[in-house]
Amino acid sequence: MHDARKAELVKLRYFAGLTIDEAADVLGISAPTANRDWAYARAWLFRDVSERR
């Protein structure tokens, strides 16, 4: 992933177990922005993993 904020959001959500609201607070972004970033990151990861199979 080429976007550091989205990558950090994935780490906070997946590995630290934070909610969208908690992760947004940590990153200093709004919850709607975090939701958009999360949707993008999930789609990117799904495509990346699917291409490797």
Residues belonging to the chain: 53
SS3 1: coil
From residue 36, give the alpha-carbon distance in Å to each of 30, 39, 40, 43, 48.
10, 5, 6, 11, 18
SS3 28: coil
Number of Cβ within a 10 Å radius of residue 28 = 8
Note the pLDDT tens digit of each residue in 5-14.
Answer: 999 999 999 9
- Write down the pTM of the prediction: 0.84
Note the pLDDT tens digit of each residue in 2-53.
Answer: 799 999 999 999 999 999 999 999 999 999 999 999 999 999 988 888 887 7
The parent domain of residue 31 ranges over: 4-51
Count of domains observed in the chain: 1
> Which one-letter amino acid corresponds to residue 34?
A
